[in-house]
Each structure stands twice: as structure tokens, then as C-alpha cells.
Chains A and B, each alone.
Chain A
């Protein structure tokens, strides 16, 4: 058994600390469901909620032509599963009010003489007005509308000129790999899992040292021969175990409920997760040593976490970020872990593929633990 310089066995002390932590957790009745059940509930709810897919658009039709053609065009929209017609009018103002009241998010305006212009001059205009508060959703719904109109146009041409050659010379063949159904939950679930275990790791573990500071039990600890790193290790390990356990549980749920593919190796996932957790928890502990009250600690942790999560590529693409933002990501552990989760789970990446994310995490863990141990003073 490892003996420290001061002649008491290291491992035993750490085990005693871990035992105490678990005993305390067990006693804390209110916390237990929060730690174990809530994250799973969140996983379920949020995975269902998080999607950018546009399932339905509410469309308002302003038809100033009232012709056969305009009715056919309208019918085409009506028949689309992506659209629900929520209003008809001759008056654009009514339409705009509908958008303001959020009864419609898109307006189709067919001008007078639409049919006549098209047949006589081979050219006619329609207008699509979209509520663009949500920019990317607007881009998508705009795209849908355009493709419906284009389809309509093509059909019209073919009906009128059956012999016309409309085939595009450039034949675009496409396929979507790793997630052919474009299932959004497949994308979000690994990310949400990361989010949840990060919260458990960062907050629970982090608040811990401050809590002892606030209550005063840390004095009693400081007066014993416990080593700084034994103490830190003893604080890390129980929550590390809990977080890994949650990961396992979450993965199981993901597979059962959402049918997320787990193509890559589970050992790799847990291996990297272990390192990641150490990195993020040590960060929490380090923050803990900086704060005097739990409130401060929580606020600091929250501050870091929000920034890290938003910049990590969980919700928004990293590629689109400016260079300086990408530079900040160097110290963002979440940004290393999320691609690992996604790539290993969905594409089956192996260690060589993700090593460029792994080693920084190892460095990070090393540095944060050192910071936490260094900052924690037994003698003030």
C-alpha cells in the first residue's frame, strides 16, 4: 500500500473520504431524486423538444387574381403536409396583421393578372413574405415555399408542352450518411447527455468544497493530516462515479427510447468521458476554492458553464464562429468532448480519429486538478 511521506497510507485516507461523501449523499433525501431522476427526465423532455425541423408552417394567402391558375397554386400549398392555410384575403394588411398576431408566419401574394401575364408574356410574379425573426427557420420555410412553386411551375410546363425537355443536365445525387432519416434527436441526444453530466459534475462537485467552508466543517478537515490532493481526490471520485453511472443510464435510455445508434466502441466513450469528467469537475473544484460562499461558487460556475456550452457546438455550428471565438474554445472542455460523443456514437470513429480531442482533455484535466490542489490551502 502506498505510504506517504507522513507515514499514513494514501489510499486508505481517500477511501475514507469517499465513504463519508457517499454516506452524506445517502442521508440527503431531497438530493437523491434530483441527482438521479431529474437528469433522466430532462433527457427525455429536452430531446423531444430540441429540433430545428420545421414540421408545419402557417400560411396566409392573399389572392388578388382569383383565376383558375391562382386557385391551383393555392391548392398545391394546401395539399402540402408542411403547410396549413390559416387565412385568405384580398387585403395585404389583413395578412400582415395575422403575422403580427402570430396566426401566420408566411404570406403568399398572388397579384392581379397573374394568370393572364403568365400565358401572354411567359412571365408572372408572385411574392413570398416570411416572418424572419427566427432567421434560420425563415430560410428553411422560404426554401420550402420556393420548391413548391418551382414544382408547380415544372408541372405546368410539362402539362402545357408535353415534349419539352426539362431535365437538368447536372444530375445531383445526394445521400445523407450516419443519419439518413435526418433524425434530429440523433444529433441532440448525445449533446444533451453531455450537458447533463456536465451539470452534475461541475455543480454538484464544485459546490461541495464551498459548502464545507460555509458550514465550517472544513476547519476540522484542515486540522487533520489529510493531504490536499487526498482531499481533492476524495471529493472528485464519488461524483465522478455518479456521473459515469448517469452517463451509462442515459445512454441506455437513449438507445431504448430514441433508438440512437451507438456505432463506435463503448469503452472509448467511457474512457474519454472519464477524462472529461475529471477535467470539468476539477474546474468546478477550482472555482470552489476561489469562492467563499456557495452562491458565489454557483454564480461563477454558471457563468463559465453557459459560455462554454453555448460555444461548444452543442446547439450551433462551430465553423460559423469568428476566429477569436474559436480561440476561446481552446479552454473550453465541453467543446472537446461533444464531437467525441457524436463522432464515436454516430460514425464509429476510433481513437486515432478523435485523439486530437482527447489529448487536450487530458492536459486540461491535469491543469485543473493542479490548480484546484494548489489553490486549496489548509493553512491560511
Chain B
């Protein structure tokens, strides 16, 4: 099926080019009560920053709420009357920034950007004024100087895709045998249960490996994501994770009666928490403590750490032995549990 190989390609493309947490082209509304050279200059500065585009020009205060309610405008910038005049004579004029905080992150970022643009403008106005005791700050961004959000996403994408194929599809595949009753037939055959499971699982292992390689290649060549550390180490850890997911998938299939259940279980217990709790999109450090502990039993969390570290920081086994050990441990745990459940059925 084309989709099986198309999926990683599509996901990488999406993440690389479409999905980003960066702010760009946010629509703002301008309510300019002065309409003088200064407000125009400031407006220009805002609109040429790349962060904002003009969504609407308002002329009354009560239009603001309406504009927000329509859903497109993210922020309103209001200049008071006689702005330039006030600055020149009284050395004081106000600008009001109203942000639509239904998306608080966006609102915060937009406000910060707006504010810094305004402060910049102000500095330009008073660039001749010299202040003593100036602390100048140099900032440096490690590992990801352009603050590309793709670096965050690629490890997560790999994880999810591997989980999907190795865990979810495996669990459904084995559950299918159970559901259609063909499992009994297999069990009665001279094949050992171990062989049956391995047979079922091998196609998915191969598929996962291929997919992982495709994603890595794509992210390296198309997205420019570096692989600072050892490629062999990266692949080794990936294979470990694939086995981990397989053991998870097998375990889920032992507790599911039908394919639908295997799927829903995988969905709710694996995929959703993986996406949201593993540090893929939302940083773990910011979660409530309870959830941070919870995420410790999520294998995806550890794998994402490992991938990020190898690809972006170039870490070796010395730095990552703890995480690797956890993955190995989890794999063994799930395999043992699956075997136990299996034996119960056969007894």
C-alpha cells in the first residue's frame, strides 16, 4: 500500500513546511485615532516585521469585540488622538494593545513582539539620548540557532510513526487472528506460539525500519536537520525502540478481544498520550508534577530524548545510558507480561 510509505513522507513535509509554532502573518486590527506620521511609521514597522499583517482598519472602539468574535483578528492596536503631538510636546502618549487571549500563547508572543517593536521605535526616536550604565546582552541559541520548530517535531514524528506501525498495527493484526478465530488454528499447528508471533510481526519490523530510514533521510536532506552524533548509534536506538513498540503491541493484543478494541486501546493509551505527554509538542518540564511522573512510564518520552540528543547534540552512549536502559527494561517488561498472558490462555 502506497500509504504505508507515503505517510512518513507526508508527515515530514507537513512538519517541515506547514506546521510551525513560529508566529507569522498574524492578522491585527489597527484603530488609529491620530493618523499622523508617527502612528503611520509605527504601523508600518509592525506590518513589515513579518509577524503581522493587516486584518482590518477600525474606526470605533466597539468594533473591536466584533472583530475578535469573527475569529480572524488576533490583536488590536489602538493609537490615541494626537499621538505625535503628544509625544513631541508632553513626551508622553499611549498605545493600547488588546490581545485575543483565547490562545494565550499566541497572545503572549504577539504582545511581546508588538511591545519590542514599539520599544525599538522608541529607541530610534531617542537614539541620541545616551544613558549610562548600559548592560548589553548577547544571546546565543544552542543546537538550533534559527529556532526552527522542525527540530522539535522530527523526533516526535519518527516516534509516532514507529509507534503506529510497530505497536498499533501489530496489536490489531494479532487481535484479528483472535477475532476471526484463526488464532486457534495457528496454535494447534506444530508452530510454537513464539514462531507465530514472530511471523506476524516481521513485516511490521521491516516496515518500521524502512519508514524510520525514510524519515531520517528526508529530514536530513530536505529539512536540513543535522545528525551530529553517530548514525549507527541512532539506528541502534531506533531498532531498540521498534522492538519496544512491538512488545507493547503484542501486549495490547493479548488483552483485546477484537480488532476494534485493540485499535481503541492503542489509540487512547498509546498514541494520544504519546503525542501530548511525551514531550513531542509540549515540554514535559511545564506539566504538573503528577503528569511528569506519569510520562516516565511512557517509552516514547525516553526515545524522543534519545533522538534529540543524538541528532542535535551529538551525545554518545555515555550520556544516554540511563534512557537506553529504561527502554530495554520496558521492552523486557512488556514481553514478560505478554508471555504470561499468553500462557494463561493456553492453559
Contact = CB atoms under 8 A, between A and B. Distances in A.
Nearest to B42: A170
Interface string A82-124: 0000000000000010011110010000000000001100111
Interface string A126-154: 11111111111111101101100100110
Interface string B200-240: 00000000000000000000000000000000000000000
Contacts of A64: none
Nearest to B111: A174
Contacts of A51: 282, 286-287
Nearest to B26: A319
A317 B103 contact: yes
A134 B285 CA distance: 12
Interface residues of A, number: 120
A210 B207 CA distance: 24
A96 B281 CA distance: 24
Contacts of A176: 98-99, 101, 104, 107, 111
Interface stretch (A156-164, A223-231, A277-285, A370-378): A156-164
Interface stretch (B86-94, B185-193, B242-250, B330-338): B86-94
B282 A50 contact: yes
A128 B140 contact: yes
B245 to A, nearest CB: 15
Contact of A101 (B22, B277, B319): B319
Given A174-B97, A174-B99, A353-B71, A132 B141 contact: yes
Nearest to A152: B135
B137 A319 contact: no
B1 interface: yes
Interface stretch (A2-10, A52-60, A241-249, A266-274): A52-60
Contact of B133 (A45, A101, A122, A295): A122
B19 interface: yes
Given A170-B95, A183-B104, A339-B71, A128 B143 contact: no
Contact of A161 (B91, B122, B132, B134): B132
Interface in A278-337: 293-296, 298-300, 302-303, 306-307, 310-311, 315-317, 319-322, 324-325, 328
A235 interface: no
Interface stretch (A11-19, A250-258, A342-350, A359-367): A342-350
Contact of B19 (A50, A316, A324, A342): A316
Contacts of A125: 135-138
Contacts of A347: 68-69, 100, 102
Nearest to B147: A135
**What class of interface size applies to chain B in its complex with A?**
35 or more
A170 B169 contact: no
A349 B71 contact: yes
B44 interface: no
A49 B276 contact: yes
B267 A317 contact: no
A294 B259 contact: yes
Contacts of B261: 30-31, 34
Contacts of A346: 102
Contacts of A368: none
Interface in B38-80: 65-66, 68-71, 74
A75 interface: no
B131 A157 contact: yes
B24 A122 contact: no
Contact of B139 (A34, A119, A146, A164): A146
A319 B144 contact: no
A259 interface: no
Main secondary structure, interface of A, reads helix
A28 B261 CA distance: 10
Interface stretch (B29-37, B112-120, B339-347): B112-120
Nearest to B291: A49
A38 interface: yes
A66 interface: no
A353 B72 CA distance: 10
Interface in B147-188: 147-149, 151-152, 160, 164, 168-169, 172-173, 176, 180
Contact of B315 (A96, A100, A172, A174): A100
Interface string B247-275: 00000000011111101110110001100
Contact of B132 (A105, A122, A207, A322): A122
Contacts of A166: 131
A170 B104 contact: no
Contact of A132 (B17, B142, B172, B258): B142
Instruction: Among B66, B147, B308, B313, find the residue whose CB has the most chain A CB atoms closer than 10 A.
Output: B147
Given A172-B97, A321-B19, A135 B151 contact: yes
Given A184-B104, A211-B259, 7 more contacts: A133-B151, A135-B144, A156-B135, A161-B132, A175-B98, A317-B23, A322-B17
16 contacts: A48-B287, A48-B290, A49-B291, A52-B286, A124-B134, A133-B312, A139-B147, A149-B135, A169-B91, A177-B101, A215-B180, A294-B176, A295-B176, A295-B259, A316-B21, A317-B26
Interface of B: 1, 3-4, 7, 10-11, 14-15, 17-27, 65-66, 68-71, 74, 87, 91-109, 111-112, 115, 118-119, 121-122, 125-126, 131-149, 151-152, 160, 164, 168-169, 172-173, 176, 180, 256-261, 263-265, 267-268, 272-273, 276-277, 281-283, 285-288, 290-291, 294-295, 305, 308-309, 312-313, 315, 319
